[in-house]
Amino acid sequence: MKIIIAGAGEVGFHLAKLLSYESQDITLIDTNKESLSYADSHLDIRVLKGDATSISVLRDAKVEQSNLVIGVTSSETTNITLCMLAKQLGCERTIARISNTEFVDNRDVLKFEELGIDELISPEELAATEIQLLLNKSAFNDTYEFEDGMLIMVGVSLPKSAPFVGKMVKEAANIFPELHFMPIALQRLGTQYTVIPRGDTVFKEGDQVYFITVKEGVDELYKLTGKKKEEIKNVMILGGSKVGYKAARDLCAKKFNVKLIEKDKEKAFDLSDDLPNALVINGDGRNVELLEEESLESMDAFIAVTGNSETNIMSCLVAKSKHIKKTIALVENMDYFQLSHSIGIDTLINKKLLAANNIFRYIRKGEVVALMRINNLNAEILEFVVKPDSKVTGSVIRELDFPKMATIGGVVRDGEGIIALGGFRIQAGDRVVVCCLPEAIAKIERLFL
């Protein structure tokens, strides 16, 4: 696939890195020579210095032969203009990163597709949505919803008290036959290896396990993992960044009690005007005394989304020491994900990863309607729409030539989520959720083409 990425910043570089690992034909465009030099020396891609909205630069990048153009510069005007030009010049598909979420909210009215923009993504909006999801499933440290919650992925660290610790997957299935969830991936405590569970895989204490479940299965998972479904009502947000503002706005709309701490005085006043239902405090959130004065210990959740990853992590650790039920930190450094569970923070979120998840589904073959990469796990979860002529159509799952490094977690059929076991027959129109390791992706794509 020939892909042009405009913007060699954090999101653009991260995307280029992930795609270059898959031997995609990548051209990275930026006006910053330093950023391009770094990308050129670290990645197997082509770099091009210039303005991404210049027609001559786009022609130099062979835009007319490209399958996908992704605009992820810091300027949403540049990204939108680039996508419009690229489509006119012959590119198949375009994606623009935006920061003004009004565009996303009014996309049906504005009809961006007619302008040549196939998809709009806002990493800040994605991060704010992720925060809301995590607060709704407070005992879990990772979560994702397919088809508006018809199927739900949750990640949880298994305590010693979980009744299936020490048992194989097939034994657990026999003991709890009425349950509505399926394990799709796990990572052993202290390792970085991702395991796709089979029938003889043994659950161990400390395993970070990812389950696909239907709505009624969420409560079952709370009981079986010994986790408590905590009531989250009072939320403290550190940092009035775009993510902090959007998270506060969304949580206030859901009737959460929100306190937002912002260091910059002028920004704090602006936020106070824009968020009438939140209590905005001007102060330095790194000051433990300030946090205590603002009743940190009475909060149910603490969310740190300043522009500094280390500040976010340290303030979450302070919150955790006050026995806050849920802590969420926004981080830029992907390496921190490996530390999150060991240092005690419930969840780390990363805008680059969320944006990449959103974009990657356009790169996968077959009709992929959702895709996510699990934090700190070398696995992808894809949602395919089954076509009438797909190889899986009409097949029983256990009879499929399905790679061992992949598993089907569930199916959405006629608006209903189903945990699909070996005897389930796949039909055209089904939406099938698959978890797989990178080595199995090509084979899975062929099955759903």
Q: Residue 303: what pLDDT? A: 95
- How confident is the model at residue 376, as a pLDDT? 63
Contact 225, 158 (CB under 8 A): yes
Give, as one character, the DSSP assignment of residue 404: T
The residue type found at 51 is D
Calculate Rg over the CA atoms of the chain. 23
What pLDDT does 228 receive?
66
The predicted model gives 99-119 an average pLDDT of 84
pLDDT, mean of residues 195-220:
86
Least confident range of 44-53, 179-188, 311-320, 342-351: 342-351
Query: Please, what's the b/e burial string for 203-237 (b: 16 or more CB within 10 A of its CB; e: otherwise)?
Result: beeebbbbbbbbeebbebbbebbebeeeebebbbb
Where are the extended beta strands (E) located within 318-426?
Answer: 326-330, 347-349, 368-373, 380-385, 406-413, 416-418
Residues 6+ apart with CB under 8 A from 25: 1, 2, 3
CB 334 within 8 A of CB 352: yes
Q: Give the pLDDT score at 226.
A: 66
Give the pLDDT confidence score for residue 198 in this predicted structure: 87
Look up residue 245 and give its DSSP letter.
Answer: H
Determine what percent of the chain is predicted with pLDDT higher than 90. 39
Is the pLDDT assigned to residue 425 strictly greater than 60?
A: yes
Task: Kindly state the average pLDDT of the residues 121-136.
Answer: 87
Instruction: Using pLDDT thresholds of 50, 70 and 90, give the confidence band for residue 341.
Output: low
pLDDT of residue 63: 95
**Is the pLDDT confidence value at 139 over 70?**
no
> What's the whole-number mean pLDDT along residues 185-207?
85
Taking residues 208-236, report their average pLDDT: 81
Backbone angles phi, psi at 173, to 5 degrees: -65, -35
Residues 6+ apart with CB under 8 A from 11: 72, 97, 123, 351, 352, 355, 356
87 vs 124: CA distance, rounded Å:
26
CB 422 within 8 A of CB 397: yes
**Cα distance between residue 205 and residue 180, in whole Å:** 22
Return the closest-CA partner of residue 165 out of 175, 178, 152, 155: 175
- pLDDT of 365 strictly over 80: no
Write the burial class of residue 23 (CB in 10 Å: 0-12 exposed, 13-18 middle, 19+ buried).
exposed
Does 27 score more than 60 pLDDT? yes
CA distance 214 to 286: 40
Binned at pLDDT 50, 70 and 90, residue 88 comes out as very high
Give the residue-averaged pLDDT of 219-242.
82
Mean pLDDT of 127-140: 80
pLDDT digits (tens, 9 = 90+) for 397-407: 989 888 889 99
Taking residues 279-297, what's their average pLDDT? 89
Per-residue model confidence as pLDDT tens digits over 3-20: 999 999 888 988 888 888
- Nearest Cα neighbor of 144 from 136, 154, 156, 135 is 154
How far is CA 285 from each of CA 234, 316, 338, rounded to the nearest angstrom?
Answer: 17, 11, 25
Quickly state the pLDDT bin for 229 (edges 50, 70, 90). low
Round the average pLDDT of the chain to a whole number and report it.
Answer: 87
State yes or no: pLDDT of 98 exceeds 80: yes
pLDDT at 342: 60
Q: Which residue has the higher pLDDT, 60 or 160?
A: 60
CA-based nearest residue to 325, from 303, 294, 301, 345 = 301
What's residue 110's pLDDT?
82
